[in-house]
Structure 1
Amino acid sequence: MPPGARLTVTVLYALAVHLVLALGLHVRLPQPPPPSVAPTLEITLVQRAPAKRAPKEADYLAEVSSAGGGNHSKPRVPTTVAPGRPQPAAPAPAPDPTSDP
């Protein structure tokens, strides 16, 4: 086989392999998910009648009276759910200069 023909056969073979791969493989873009309905939240608006009189000792300032709200007879102090601040570590004791390392 002459040297020029060998190169031609190799290039044609490579072209045929590339065509088979390019036409034989199908690449599809991923389909976006169908639009979903956003979760809803039901809201109930309650209109309270204005209080007849202001309380003698108010626990807090609010737009409407909280009479009848809650399940405790005495007012409770709000608490935090955040963790406390970490305490700094105690310093390490000073090395004893008389001891051998």
Structure 2
Amino acid sequence: MKKIPKNEVINEMKRVHKENNNVVPTMKGWKSLSNISVDVVNRAFGTWKKAWPAIGIEYEKPLYKKRERIIIDLQRAFAKNKNIVKTKDLIRVSGHT
């Protein structure tokens, strides 16, 4: 297996970040956005979380990983706020304050 040079990994990470609306993709999302595997990124930088700051891009943990959790939090915010849901209400019930 041919080793991919670190500068190619960095260029691919920056390309994917830009095409993903300047959002760091999840590892699962990366698979559909890049031909370079997550394992290659992890080998180059140690971990997924360390990779992004190492190339000057802030890594923020995704608020949600599962659609079901989004639905539950929306339902809770909807019920709690008398059928009106604002972004701040959703963030509050999700525990991401």
Question: Of the two, which has the highest radius of gyration?
Answer: 1
Structure showing greater relative contact order (alpha-carbon pairs closer than 8 Å, 6 or more residues apart): 2
